[in-house]
A and B are shown apart, each in its own frame.
Chain A
Amino acid sequence: AQSVTQPDIHITVSEGASLELRCNYSYGATPYLFWYVQSPGQGLQLLLKYFSGDTLVQGIKGFEAEFKRSQSSFNLRKPSVHWSDAAEYFCAVESGGSYIPTFGRGTSLIVHP
């Protein structure tokens, strides 16, 4: 069965600093991987996704993520964080034969001015 772990419940960064949110998955084959962002009081919005090919994927809002098969990881990065990036971030994994993703429990990003 597939599973997703987001080790950090909260992350605090200063505005302008770089960001990396961790995501580890458990799945035998190459999974489909997603990152979503949820602003307060809103639904989730898809930031980026990985299916195959280039292991570094670019998303919206200046985010990128890198798939590392050897580490079973799909970490989300941003070189310079803006105050508006404060939100909850969810990693999700989906197997090729399923259309039901498993979501991590989320990482709350706090941005200090």
Chain B
Amino acid sequence: NAGVTQTPKFRILKIGQSMTLQCAQDMNHNYMYWYRQDPGMGLKLIYYSVGAGITDKGEVPNGYNVSRSTTEDFPLRLELAAPSQTSVYFCASSPQGNYGYTFGSGTRLTVV
């Protein structure tokens, strides 16, 4: 059971570069989420999706974009990377609301 797969696990970006964080789930979950985790700050929601073709902003969407063309995939795009985007990024999925999440193992991103 793969669950939620995130790639890459680690990445170093230079200021101004762009990249896509990949997230895929094989559980046929409708709901998918992107969070960032900073030390001592818990989890902040970036974007979420309740199904293919539907996305919405979370608490901290600035500097990020998402798309959801299939049920399985929910990539997160960083445009013009900034040092403030240095963080650990987690993708999560859920079959429905109020059910609890399955998390990926995270992508540790450093912007220098």
Report the bound CA distance from A100 to B104 in whole Å. 17
A-chain residues with CB within 8 Å of residue B41 when the two chains form the complex? 105
Which positions 20-42 of chain B face chain A at CB distance < 8 Å? 31, 40-42
Any A CB within 8 A of the CB of B105: yes
Report the bound CA distance from A17 to B81 in whole Å. 46
Report the bound CA distance from A51 to B43 in whole Å. 22
Chain A contact-residue range equals: 20 to 34
Among B98, B99, B105: residue with most chain A CB under 10 A: B98
Report the bound CA distance from A41 to B9 in whole Å. 10
Do B105 and A42 touch across chains, with their CB atoms under 8 A apart? yes
Do B58 and A46 touch across chains, with their CB atoms under 8 A apart? no
Among A42, A43, A96, A100: residue with most chain B CB under 10 A: A43
Report the bound CA distance from A93 to B50 in whole Å. 19
Do B98 and A106 touch across chains, with their CB atoms under 8 A apart? no
Do A104 and B42 touch across chains, with their CB atoms under 8 A apart? yes
Q: Chain B: residues with CB nearer than 8 A to chain A?
A: 4, 31, 40-43, 45, 48, 50, 58, 90, 92, 94, 96-106
